[in-house]
Structure 1
Amino acid sequence: MLDRYKTVRAFGSKEIVIKKSRFIGYGRPVATEDEAIRFIDEIKKLHWNATHNCSAYMIGERDEIQKQSDDGEPSGTAGKPILEVLKNQGLKNVAIVVTRYFGGIMLGAGGLVRAYTDGAVAAIEAAESITKVLHQEVFVEVEYTWLGKLENELRNRGMRMGETAFTDKVALRCLPEAKDTDDFIAWMTDLTQGQGLITIGEQVYFIEGE
């Protein structure tokens, strides 16, 4: 799993008008190609009477899946510019559709490229670009006498925390960044003088800064 990657937060849409043509950009996060295709089909059904519904998506840790469609626009003037926006912004697991309602004025090849680029950028702005950071669950089980010290040290370090479990002992659910797991475990071992029971849980992504 990637230590971090950029994607979008949620579904979003934004409309722009260029020389009387309406361009509506739609963006959303997608985990699989099937999900991307379903999203594109939904927009096509919603705008069944549009002149074009052009699209692109990029999926996978190494951007293994990259697809684009001009949907009737001149080759290379719509789908490719949308895909290039995803690449240039470094986004992963995102699908974009830019719907066009022709306004009567021809834009030419260069104008179309700029328009679909702007439509894709508008879609990403509406869907909100975010960075997801991989964290590792680390459970630290100690006697209650250690609780105050550990909470204070973790708070001072700004450690992301989950719920604390209270039984005959106390188990702290710590969530360091995955890349820092070994250093964190070494720190906890030293801090508890080897008296803490440390176990590894799952890995989970959180939005950076939240």
Structure 2
Amino acid sequence: MCESISPIVEFTTVAKEFRHEYVVEKSRFITTICPCSTEEEAQAFIGRINKEFWDARHNCTAFALGPKQEQQRSSDNGEPSGTAGKPMLEVLKKTGITNVAVVVTRYFGGIKLGAGGLIRAYSHSVAETLRLAPKELHTTRTQLQATIDYALYGAIERYVQDQKLHYESNFGEHVDITILVPPTDVERIQKELQDMSHGAATCTILDSIEVVLPLEQ
């Protein structure tokens, strides 16, 4: 009887709290985004931003929680219905970024933007902040350890870097490179390491672990 393999739970979130400001028609839209894993954390973050920007006309909010954004909520906070919170949440849904809460603080500049203008401004504010914010991938990786001679190290290291894999090297009598590999790629990577080293690399598959990997901007 074959043992079923559990699917990999993988999601992208922001690495840390991040803020970006956007100005349109003299209105300031200050977007603050924060990683959160529970609704309690999201609400605490929203409360903190409300306190910081207590004098703003609006502090509109949205959050998405869970690997597949199972929990979602948004608020227009006094803006016309559907012009702030919902567009903000739609941006989160479109990007797939989760375990995150976002507050867009608006200081009114005296020029009305209209419903369409508000939707565009709130959407753009969140999209641009998400684009600029440092992000990280939460996923599962299999540890593949390759033991090689020093003469092979330069070529193997370049290969691992070209594959954009995270790794750690330990130097002793030989070099042990522990590579974090997507489970579906283990067989391919192992074969390519063997081919590159003409069979000289000793490859050992270690445990799979949950990891947090920085994503390139």
Between the aligned partners of 1:13 and 1:195, the Cα distance in structure 2 is 47
Question: Does the CA-based 8 Å contact 1:57-1:66 persist in structure 2?
Answer: yes
Supply the distance in 2 between the matched residues of 1:194 and 1:163 (Cα, whole angstroms). 14
Q: 1:94 aligns with which of 100, 125, 128?
A: 100
Alignment of 1:46-65 (within 5 A): 46-65=52-71
Structure-2 change in CA distance of 1:209 and 1:119 (3 Å)? closer
- Give the alignment of 1:39-118 within 5 angstroms: 39-118=45-124
TM-score, normalised to structure 2, is 0.75
Match of 1:203 in 2: 210
* Gap regions ≥5 residues in structure 2: 1-7
Equivalent residue pairs, number: 204
Alignment of 1:135-154 (within 5 A): 136-138=141-143, 140=145, 146-148=148-150, 151-152=153-154, 154=156
Q: Deviation per CA, 1:40-80, whole angstroms, max 9, x where unpaired?
A: 11111101111110011112221101110111222211100
The one-letter code matched in structure 2 to 1:118 is: H
Please, which runs of 5 or more residues in structure 1 have no aligned partner? none
Post-superposition CA distance 1:53-112 (Å, at most 9, x none): 001111222110111011122221110011111122332222211011223333332222
Q: Give identity over the alignment, percent.
A: 36
2:202, 2:178 → 1: CA distance?
16
- Verify the 8 A CA contact 1:15 1:22 in the aligned structure 2: yes
CA distance in 2, matches of 1:54, 1:109: 15
Q: Tell me, yes or no, if structure 1 residue 127 matches structure 2 residue 125.
A: no
TM-score by length of 1: 0.77
User: In the TM superposition, what are the counterparts of 1:165-180 in structure 2 within 5 Å?
Assistant: 166=172, 171-180=176-185
Distance 1:126 1:41, change over 3 A: farther
